[in-house]
Structure 1
């Protein structure tokens, strides 16, 4: 009862708005449904579709998206013409981050469109001939936009949900041989940094199912590849090494523990524009 009274008092102090939520709104009106352990278990389960946004926050997002499409023509136009600040620190986030990006001062690859042109379908400019073949820890900042997820998944309040958008491909034939292509295209890539202990075993997923009850999830609804051979598992791990190295370089392991993933094509919000989800918890 005391907890309910405190929640009601906080809800009065923090009014519920519309559009992108503030951190205070997330804490009071959309409290985390997943623990850090559960979050890591979902990522390591093999089905990245288990990661969810609070259902009420999802409804708010859907309403916001209607206005975004009216103004910009599409969510992709919104991202490319406004939200993604190529080569620059994220100054548009309402959530903020404890990580400071140093050296991200390269001018954007192209200037934003005028207000009148926001609804015009827009393509990214072609990559120059000397652009890297695939994303890695050495990718130049002008090809990267690191932003806080304005609509984060239902993660604990101490966990930052960051998106690393990149114009450079993450899935590349050099990294993803034909023998694992179908698996990566179905499952995506994921990894963990900043912890010497292994991540939770996928076999422990059933113990985390209560956290997914309101989404109606059951084990028979999982979408994932069949268990691969040890050789295939190693190839998948190697395919994720460049992303893992980038994460380790930005979120120093002595300060941060992270869980990251790259959605498979079936779950990508903007096909053709790659991005990494990084969940980071300060130690």
Structure 2
């Protein structure tokens, strides 16, 4: 089961995630520059995607008490062999279509920033990831863990994995 960073409920508001004004479509090069500079607040969803995110987050909070409780329940049904659960982001940032945006949920803390810990690198090199997700095809990736004030689900350890083939 995934460990929560804290037990406080998550309240989703327009200010708790990347700003809509930053939701212009980003290229791989722009994404790389943003991540390397640590300016994660420059990432955001398109207006349409942000509206869908806010609407669905409100429904999940109403039905389950909070988005955090919903995600904890959803993730607890999965059995991560590696300590990680990889999922396509249901509400991806505004990125070119050639970029896949995943969330890597973790059973252990992940440091904020753009440097993946060795455990993440090992996971990306594992048969679990390579054969099941990317069929051993070459790929480039970028990594980030938002600082606490930018996390929309702060009570569950997770990072953002961006992959370009």
Indicate the residue corresponding to 1:159 in structure 2: 99
How far apart, CA to CA, are the structure 2 residues paired with 1:85 and 1:149? 18
Please say if residues 24 and 44 of structure 2, whose CA atoms lie closer than 8 Å, have aligned partners that are also in contact: no
TM-score by length of 1: 0.43
Indicate the residue corresponding to 2:120 in structure 1: 243
Matched, 1:189 2:99: no
Secondary structure of the structure 2 residue equivalent to 1:190: coil
Please say if residues 86 and 144 of structure 1, whose CA atoms lie closer than 8 Å, have aligned partners that are also in contact: no
Q: 1:158 to 1:84 in 2, by over 3 A?
A: farther
Please say if residues 76 and 270 of structure 1, whose CA atoms lie closer than 8 Å, have aligned partners that are also in contact: yes
How far apart, CA to CA, are the structure 2 residues paired with 1:59 and 1:160? 20
Q: Show structure 2 runs of 5+ residues with no match.
A: 1-22
The correspondence of residues 19-30 of structure 1 with structure 2, limited to 5 A, is none
Tell which structure's C-alpha radius of gyration is larger. 1
The correspondence of residues 43-58 of structure 1 with structure 2, limited to 5 A, is 43-58=35-50
Runs of 4+ in 1 over 6 A off after TM superposition: none
Secondary structure of the structure 2 residue equivalent to 1:269: coil
Matched, 1:281 2:145: no
Matched, 1:265 2:129: no
State the Cα distance separating 1:85 from its structure 2 match. Answer: 4.4
Please say if residues 84 and 145 of structure 1, whose CA atoms lie closer than 8 Å, have aligned partners that are also in contact: no
How far apart, CA to CA, are the structure 2 residues paired with 1:43 and 1:85? 32
TM-score by length of 2: 0.71
Give the RMSD, CA atoms, in angstroms. Answer: 2.6
How far apart, CA to CA, are the structure 2 residues paired with 1:34 and 1:265? 23
Matched, 1:62 2:2: no
The correspondence of residues 128-139 of structure 1 with structure 2, limited to 5 A, is none
Secondary structure of the structure 2 residue equivalent to 1:280: strand
Match of 2:68 among 66, 72, 76: 76
How far apart, CA to CA, are the structure 1 residues paired with 2:117 and 2:144? 9
How far apart, CA to CA, are the structure 2 residues paired with 1:276 and 1:257? 16
Give the number of aligned pairs.
Answer: 137
State the Cα distance separating 1:248 from its structure 2 match. Answer: 4.1
Secondary structure of the structure 1 residue equivalent to 2:114: strand
State the Cα distance separating 1:148 from its structure 2 match. Answer: 0.7
Match of 1:256 among 135, 139, 148: 139
Q: Show structure 1 runs of 5+ residues with no match.
A: 1-30, 88-103, 105-139, 172-187, 192-238
Matched, 1:39 2:31: yes
State the Cα distance separating 1:255 from its structure 2 match. Answer: 0.8
How far apart, CA to CA, are the structure 1 residues paired with 2:66 and 2:101? 23
Please say if residues 24 and 45 of structure 2, whose CA atoms lie closer than 8 Å, have aligned partners that are also in contact: no
Indicate the residue corresponding to 1:11 in structure 2: none
Please say if residues 36 and 114 of structure 2, whose CA atoms lie closer than 8 Å, have aligned partners that are also in contact: yes
